[in-house]
Amino acid sequence: MDLSLSDVQQALLDTVRQFAIREVKPLAAALDREHRFPAELVARMAELGLMGIEVPEAYDGADLDPIAYVLAMEEVSAACASTGVIMSVNNSLVCDPLLKFATEAQKQQWLRPLARGEKLGCFMLSEPNAGSDAAAQKTRAIKDGDGYVIQGVKNWITNGPQADTGILFTMTEPEKGNHGITAFIVDMHGEGVTRGPKDDKLGIRASHSCQIFFTDHRVSADQVLGEPGKGFKVAMSTLDCGRIGIAAQALGIARAAFEAAAEYAGDRQTFGKRIIDHQAIGFMLADMLMEIDAARLLTLRAAWMKSRKLNHTRESAMAKLFASETANKVAKNALQIFGGNGYVTEYPAERHFRDAKITEIYEGTSEIQRLVIAASLLKSRK
C-alpha cells in the first residue's frame, strides 16, 4: 500500500485543513455549548464538495476516492466532531448506498441533490428495541396496490431533525428475519413522517438526532432501494463504508485531544519544569501519538481496499474498533494531563472526552466489531 498522497489528495487535504482551522474550529465550543446545528458550516462543506466526496461528477459529486474522504473527515472532525459526523452520514450512509444500489432514475432524482449538498440525508435502521439486532425491528412496509404503506418508529437518527432524504429499512416479510428486510428511499417531508424532539446527548451536541415516526406513510415501488427482501445486504454494505467514516471521525477527535494536551504540557509548569519534561507525562503523550498513528494506518488500509473494490468488511471493523477505542483512551489521558483544568468547559479536553464515547457505539458497537472480526476469522478457516 502506497502511503504517498496524489496531487489531488494533497490539494484536498490542504483545502479542508484550512477550512477546518479558520472556519470550523472557532465555532466548535459554542456549537457544543448551544447544541446548535452548524447550518453555515454544512453549506460551506457543500460549496467545497465535501457532501458527496466519492460520488462521480456525473451525479454532481467531487469524484474523489475513499482515501480523500478519510483525509477530509479527520480534518473536519479534529476541528468539530459534530460537524464531522453530519458530513459522514451524508457521504457514507446515504450517498454510498444510493451509488451502489440505486437505479439510474433514482440516482438522478435522489443522489444528485445530496451530493451537491442541496439536500441532507439520514440513515434509518435502529429502533427503540432493535439496535445491533436488525432482524428485531418492528417497522413494517405493507404492500398496497403499486406501492407500500409504512408504519413504525426509528431511533437515534443522526441528521433526523434536518434531513430531506432518508434511507429507511423496514420489514416486508417478518417471518423471514434478515431476508425479509427491504430498504426504501423516503422523502422526509412526506405525509405521515413525524420527527420527535431532538435527543439531549452527552457529546456531539451540534449533530442533532431524534426519533422518526412513520404513520401510514405511502411510498411507491420505485422507492425501493435495491431489491425487495434484500435490505439487510444494503445495510451491511453501507455500514462497512460507514465504519471507515467513523474511524476517521475518531481519529480527528483523538488528534485534537492529543494536540491540545501536548500544547498544554509544553506550557504548564510544576516543580520548576514543564510537565511534558516529567517522564510520566512524556511517556503518556508518546503512547497517545503512537496509537493515533496506528489507528490512522488501519483506517487508510480499509479506505485503500475500498478504493480497489476489495472486500473490506473485516478491515473496516478493525479500523473502527481500534480508532474509536484509541479516541476514548487518548481523550481520557488528555483530560488527565490537563488536571483540574480538563474538567471545566474553558478548555477543550472535556468536550473531546464527551465526543469520543459515541464512536464506540454508533454504526456498530465495539462488541459488534469484535463479532465481525471473529466471524471473518472463522469463515477464513472453513
What's the rounded mean pLDDT across residues 201-213? Answer: 98
What amino acid occupies position 200? Answer: D
Query: Which pLDDT belongs to residue 382?
Result: 63
Query: Which pLDDT belongs to residue 45?
Result: 98
Q: What is the percent of the chain where pLDDT is above 90? A: 95
CATH class of 7-119: mainly alpha
The closest of 174, 167, 155 to 224, measured between CA atoms, is: 167
- Listed in sequence order, the DSSP H helices in 185-312 are 231-267, 279-307
Cell of 301: 488500509
Predicted structure pTM score? 0.96
Q: What is the chain's mean pLDDT, rounded?
A: 96
Res. 2 pLDDT band, cuts 50 70 90: confident
Query: Which pLDDT belongs to residue 149?
Result: 98
Cα three-residue angle 318-239-184, rounded to 5 degrees:
175
Cell of 349: 479536553
Active site residues: 363
For 216, the 3-state DSSP assignment is: strand
**pLDDT tens across 58-104, in order?**
999 999 999 999 999 999 999 999 999 999 999 999 999 999 999 99
Res. 222 pLDDT band, cuts 50 70 90: very high
Query: Which pLDDT belongs to residue 240?
Result: 94
Query: Which pLDDT belongs to residue 134?
Result: 78
Cα three-residue angle 256-121-173, rounded to 5 degrees:
120
**pLDDT tens across 110-153, in order?**
999 999 999 999 999 999 988 888 778 999 999 999 999 999 99
Query: Which pLDDT belongs to residue 1?
Result: 78
Domain boundaries, the chain: 7-119, 122-229, 232-380
**pLDDT tens across 316-363, in order?**
999 999 999 999 999 999 999 999 999 999 999 999 999 999 999 999
For 168, the 3-state DSSP assignment is: strand
What's the rounded mean pLDDT across residues 185-195? Answer: 98
Report the CATH fold assignment for 122-229: Butyryl-CoA Dehydrogenase, subunit A; domain 2 (2.40.110)
CATH class of 232-380: mainly alpha
CB atoms within 10 A of CB 4: 6
Give the chain's count of helices (H) and strands (E).
Answer: 13, 10
